[in-house]
Amino acid sequence: MANEFRPDYLSPPGDTLSEVLESLGMTQAELAQRMGRPRKTINEIIQGKTAITSETALQLELVLNIPASFWNNREQQYQEAKARIEEEKQLADQVSWLEENHLPIHEMRQQGWIAYVDDRVGQLREVLRFFGVASTQQCEAVWGAYKPVFRQSTKRPANWTAVYAWLRRGELEAQEIVCQPYDERAFYDVLTAVRGLTTEKFETIWPSVVEQCARVGVAVVVVPALPNTAVSGATRWLTPDKALLQLSLRYKSDDQFWFSFFHEGGHIYKHGKKKLFIELEALNGEKDKLEQEADKFAADLLISQASLRRFKREIGNRYPSRDEVKRFAQELGIAPGIVVGRLQHEGVMPHANLNDLRCGLQLGDDGQITSVPFRKA
């Protein structure tokens, strides 16, 4: 598609008709008489002012012994070429939109989301095809409607056009996942089952996580975050029976990844089917009520408040040891890195302690998540 030849000139079907008449030695007046049509109509067809209709094509077939399908196809190709030239002019007036909105074209090409096209209009057309819209105005109308009311950081405001691209990629990948109709109770059961898989290597369990969620109506995708998006996850409903849980792997550690997964799962389970939830960098750490509820859902599902209080009583005012953390994680049936992350977040121990118990994550070129040694960002 990127290298498809599209001429910038027009040749109406009348040009072909004129050549046929010349080869037959037939005048326009004689053709008009044989067809039972006004001479003016024939002249306007030849000049490209009047289209060849299906009826006209059938008459030309009888008079000239050239199939009606030929004339219909010739007319269709002409009309399409005319429309494309007009579209080219309109898109040429819109190419500045790419720069004005700082769309990360280079990164989208690198990820294979869009093809490389060596002219600006062609590149804009490729971007519009990616977004599934016919113009930049429609891109703003369709995707701008998803922009949530979210108090993000004023120091690092998100590039919303890049966020739209990230959301769109998740949507396209989710369309490839066949899901059963959403089942609320079964989804909660899957979340509980996935909790127990956090002790295993991602390479082993992640395909199973995606499959289990699909069986209960939730498409789970991991899409690398684009620059200046500061996005870690998003949740929305693609249809009344299919939810999309999208993660970015922005935080490359198992504890943060799993918290994001269960946080987004909380939105699906608790917050209806009408809103889009995007997890961005909040202003001064402030979150609205629904985000707080999703945080609590994830935190309690992973480590209940009762279990955490009991552990705190056991260690008293000192920092927990490695063995204590590993034993606590084993009792809970979750990865020790999740316990480390939670204890650091709660201020039970410094952020520098026991990070070797956390697992690092990376997303390969094949889209698969793999486990790697944790490195503090």
Per-residue pLDDT of the chain (377 residues; tens, 9 = 90+): 444 445 556 899 999 999 999 999 999 999 999 999 999 999 999 999 999 999 999 999 999 999 999 999 999 999 999 998 998 899 999 999 988 888 999 999 999 999 999 899 999 999 999 999 999 999 888 887 776 544 454 456 678 889 899 999 999 999 999 999 999 999 999 999 999 999 998 889 999 999 999 999 999 999 998 988 888 999 999 999 999 999 998 888 999 999 999 999 999 999 988 888 888 765 445 678 888 999 999 999 999 999 999 999 999 999 999 999 999 999 999 999 999 999 999 999 999 999 999 999 988 877 788 888 887 75
* Same-domain status, 311 and 193: yes
With beta carbons less than 8 A apart as the criterion, state whether 90 and 135 touch.
yes
* Same-domain status, 68 and 111: no
User: Residue 5 has what pLDDT?
Assistant: 43
User: Residue 200 has what pLDDT?
Assistant: 92
* Same-domain status, 122 and 26: no
List 236's β-bridge partners, or say none: 244
Own/partner contacts of 207-213, CB < 8 Å, gap of 24 or more, are 210/177, 213/187, 213/245
| Tokens of residue 302, six digits | 């992973």
Structural domain contains residue 6: no
Which residue in this structure is represented by tokens 């196809």? 73
**DSSP H or E run through 221:** strand 218-222
* Same-domain status, 134 and 271: no
User: Residue 3 has what pLDDT?
Assistant: 44
* Same-domain status, 178 and 64: no
Structural domain contains residue 308: yes
With beta carbons less than 8 A apart as the criterion, state whether 348 and 243 touch.
no
Backbone angles phi, psi at 45, to 5 degrees: -65, -45
What is the tens place of the pLDDT at every residue in 81-101? 999 899 889 999 999 998 888
Structural domain contains residue 4: no
Considering only CA atoms, which of 205, 263, 270, 207 is closest in space to residue 231? 263
* Same-domain status, 129 and 166: no
Structural domain contains residue 151: no
Give the CATH number of the domain where residue 36 resides. 1.10.260.40
What is the rounded end-to-end Cα distance, in angstroms, of the chain? 41
**How do beta strands 277-279 and 233-239 pair?**
antiparallel
Structural domain contains residue 115: yes
User: Residue 156 has what pLDDT?
Assistant: 63
User: Residue 283 has what pLDDT?
Assistant: 46
> Could you say which DSSP state residue 362 is in?
E
* Same-domain status, 262 and 123: no
**DSSP H or E run through 331:** helix 322-332
Cα–Cα distance, 154 to 283 (Å, whole number): 7
* Same-domain status, 119 and 195: no
Cα–Cα distance, 267 to 245 (Å, whole number): 9
* Same-domain status, 299 and 174: yes
Considering only CA atoms, which of 264, 268, 262 is closest in space to residue 183? 268
* Same-domain status, 133 and 58: no
Q: In a 3-state reduction of DSSP, which class is residue 339? A: helix
With beta carbons less than 8 A apart as the criterion, state whether 177 and 192 touch.
no
In this structure, is the dihedral angle defined by the CA atoms of residues 48, 49, 54 and 58, taken in order, positive or negative? Answer: negative
Structural domain contains residue 254: yes
User: Residue 377 has what pLDDT?
Assistant: 59
With beta carbons less than 8 A apart as the criterion, state whether 283 and 154 touch.
yes
Domain stop point among 84, 117, 144? 144
Q: What is the domain count for the chain?
A: 3
* Same-domain status, 31 and 116: no
Structural domain contains residue 312: yes
Which residue range forms the structural domain that includes residue 104? 96-144
Using only the alpha carbons of the chain, give its radius of gyration.
Answer: 30
User: Residue 155 has what pLDDT?
Assistant: 58
- Give Cα separations from 320 to 9, 187, 260, 309, 341 (angstroms): 76, 34, 25, 13, 13
Structural domain contains residue 153: no
* Same-domain status, 87 and 125: no
